[in-house]
Amino acid sequence: MGKYKAALQAAIAGLTEVNLTAPIVIQDVYLRDSIKTALGITGDLTFGDMLKLTTLNSKSGRLRSLEGLQYANNLVRLDITGNAITDFSPLKGLTKLDNLLANPQIVEIPLKPLI
């Protein structure tokens, strides 16, 4: 039992505290509005809100940046069809993302940073 207690204490010591009420700044107004619509909120977006996001559809054709989506750790499905996205790096750490619809706007995807 002692070795399990030590392992548990070590795991707890390695955790990072996150303020779920801290605001998230998303510069692209179309991305921000899409997220707020998906979550059914009207106020500022927070870390906690982003963790609730599992599906996002943003097919406005005006989206230019995915910056901010890196906080959506539980995102499973993302549809950004018809937008002009060139930087997909905010999606790099989204390990639950298994359905990405991103055509026909892809001009160039640098695969190395995404792997």
Domains of the chain with CATH codes: 19-114 (3.80.10.10)
Q: Is 12 exposed, middle or buried (0-12, 13-18, 19+ CB in 10 A)?
A: exposed
The arithmetic mean of pLDDT across residues 90-113, rounded, is: 76
Q: How many CB atoms lie within 10 A of CB 70?
A: 16
Task: Kindly write down the DSSP assignment for every residue of 30-94, as one continuous string.
Answer: HHHHHHHHHHT--S--BHHHHHH--EEE---S-----TTGGG-TT--EEE-TT------GGGTT-
Q: Residue 112: what pLDDT?
A: 58
Q: Is the pLDDT of residue 109 over 70?
A: no
Indicate the pTM of the whole model: 0.78
Element (H, E) at 100: strand 99-101
CA–CA separation, 40 and 83 (whole Å) = 22
pLDDT grade, residue 18 (50/70/90)?
confident
Q: Residue 111: what pLDDT?
A: 56
